[in-house]
Amino acid sequence: MHLPDLDFTRIRALGAGGQRDGFEQFICELAAEESPHADATFVSLNGSGGDGGVECFWTLPDGSEVGWQAKFWVHQDDVDESQLNKSVTAALTVHPRIVQYTIAIPVDPTGPTARKGKSLQEKVYGEGGWLSSWRKEATELGVSVEFRIEWYTNLVTRLRKGDPSGARARYWFDSDVLPEHWWQNRLDDAVWAARPRYVPELTVDVPALDAIAALCGDPEWHATLDSHASLLGQQIDQLRDAEPYGGSRPIDLTDARDAVRHVVTALQRWRDQPSDASRQVLDRTLQNSHASVSDAEQAESEALTAAHGDEWDSPTWRQHQAEYMVAFPAARVDALRGLKQAVQELISFVAGPFERLPGARSMLLPGDAGRGKTFVTLDAVARRLSRRRPSLFVHGLWFRDGDLLTQLRERLHLPTDLTGEEVLAILDQAGRSSGSPVLVVIDALNETRPRTVWRDELDRLVGIISRFENLRVVFTLRSHYTEQIVPSGLDMPTFIHRGFQGVEFEAVTEYADYYGLEPPTAPPIHGEFDNPLFLRLLCDALKQGSRLSLDQASMGIDELAHLLLDSANERISSQLDAPRTDRIVHRAMYAFAHAIGATPTAWLTRPDASVLLRGLWPNVARLVHDRVESRSCAERSHSW
């Protein structure tokens, strides 16, 4: 790898503050690597605004702090005492327990010279200099703190010590690598290759997007976990409010409340530090809380039965108590039931398909043909980029036999002096500096030729990816080819993409809006509407046939099939200059269906399909076959 000059005038610009923000992030990264204590906690304020005199700081177990400040001055004459004084005063005031305060300035001070006036060295370290005034101010405020300044040479030494591969230096000081527009250019390349089937304006929220957010630890995933924690908190409050209704000898609910509070704490820890260990702690607290709440509910129910008989849980008895007795003896058991349900929902959620994604570095996203794997992953990349989270999309069709990481570098248009692993290292650095992991989607592994390249190399590639903390990779493939592509024994989290399953009505409504069709008045009755390809073809057919209502979705399946075939027949007949009345698409599809029905498999080989078509149209069989495939009436697949 070519290493650039470590020239801070060329440091990478980040955010609205440009190079100043970049330098502040650079300093926070250096500071994060030097923990003053094994149990210290690091906090970065960079980008938060109002830093109180520090960009970042370590909190030691005793509550004392080690703080860092960054001042982006690249010439000695720019170093401003008044600005430094303001930062020192702010740090001493906002962080009164600070014990060490380091100021990073990317210049080296010169000593005394023949020039008029004091040198920077003398201004800072000389008798009555800046350091002396800061120490005096700290003493007056009762703060015992060591002041340090890290100059250019110190900063470069720190960087080289923690950057053996050179990836960090390349990222920070070579602005030609991964410039801001580069990310959008790569997305544009991927979108262009996915057209015309992919339409960026057509997006539907599906569970696969949640899975990718969980893998990346995105704010949307955190919000989902926070909603569970919030619900548990609300249920605890309801239980507390219900306690006065416990009668003369109320059952103690302290254990149940405390057990659920432990769940909230464990959930927050898993949210912030996902790992097998934090997940196991969450599992234990969930099981304990469920048992504790269930025991409390049973005890409360038995007490009510003893006091009021078996009728206490009937609507009639409850209504009588509320309206005539102005009493709510079942309030506590109702609150316990609500709490138990919230715990059960969280248990199901945590043990569901997202179970292994938080904290993982890669995942498989298989799905059947036509389910929209390309669409949903392109949507995920586009959304993350729009939220300033670095993301990339690479089509599996672009790969061939050979080293996969080298091909990745080529497809991403990165410099040829980078090795494959150095590419990953620089992407990892981009994720670290952005505060969000870099997402890389490699879509449709089954489209690579030969597919054996993935079967032979995927295990090794996943192992390499696992070494990079700020990198997440999603591999998509058609489920049918899993055994041919995924090495046996490869342990990688898997999330199955099922198209629009569960959100069919939302999908149909979104498509109706895009195609200018009247939206449906009720959810579709056919299972096919969970298939994005089917829905797109249907909307095309309705639009072409001037049937401007998606309430047609309630028609019978035979009528739907004829509608789709009529639409495809009209377009293909026009392309082949054939009479529409010849119904070439209908005849081709009926021939395919009849032949497939007579075989033990669910497909035809391409040669067999060609023979069928030659029997119908000897001169244009190949053209008909190609057009039928292009309209998605039939799908071409390979078994090699």
Whole-model pTM? 0.87
Looking at the chain, the whole-number percentage of residues with pLDDT higher than 90 is 65
Q: Please give the average per-residue pLDDT across 278-301, as a whole number.
A: 95
| Parallel/antiparallel/unpaired status of strands 56-59 and 65-70 | antiparallel
Among the four given CATH numbers 1.10.3470, 1.25.40, 1.20.1440, 3.40.30, the one describing domain 218-351? 1.20.1440
Q: Is 117 left (phi over 0), alpha (psi -120 to 50) or beta?
A: left
Nearest to 339 by CA among 454, 468, 231, 428: 231
Per-domain boundaries in the chain: 8-173, 183-208+358-484, 218-351
- Residues 381, 297 contacting (CB under 8 angstroms): no
DSSP SS3 for 106: coil
- Give the separation between CA 551 and CA 43, rounded to whole angstroms: 55
Nearest to 259 by CA among 328, 342, 333, 331: 342
Q: Which CATH architecture has domain 8-173?
A: 3-Layer(aba) Sandwich (3.40)
- Give the separation between CA 551 and CA 536, rounded to whole angstroms: 15
Whether the predicted pLDDT of 260 surpasses 80 = yes
Mean residue pLDDT across the chain:
89
Q: Please give the average per-residue pLDDT across 287-300, as a whole number.
A: 94
Whether the predicted pLDDT of 622 surpasses 70 = no
Residue the block writes with tokens 């906090």:
43
User: Can you name the residues that pair with 478 across neighbouring β-strands?
Assistant: 367
Span 217-255, pLDDT tens digits: 999 999 999 999 999 999 999 988 887 776 656 788 899
- Residues 607, 627 contacting (CB under 8 angstroms): no
- Integer angstrom CA distances of residue 536 from 432, 516, 620: 39, 13, 27
Whether the predicted pLDDT of 460 surpasses 60 = yes
- Give the separation between CA 65 and CA 82, rounded to whole angstroms: 24
- Residues 181, 390 contacting (CB under 8 angstroms): no
Span 49-95, pLDDT tens digits: 556 899 999 999 999 999 999 999 999 999 999 999 999 999 999 99
Longest distance between any two alpha carbons in the chain, whole Å: 101
DSSP SS3 for 46: coil
Residue 619's pLDDT is what?
59
**What count of other Cβ atoms lies within 10 Å of the Cβ of residue 106?**
25
- Integer angstrom CA distances of residue 497 from 197, 365, 370, 448: 18, 6, 11, 20
CATH class as words, domain 183-208+358-484: alpha beta
Model confidence at 542, pLDDT cuts 50, 70, 90, reads confident
Q: Which range among 107-116, 373-382, 557-566 shows the weakest confidence by mean pLDDT?
A: 557-566
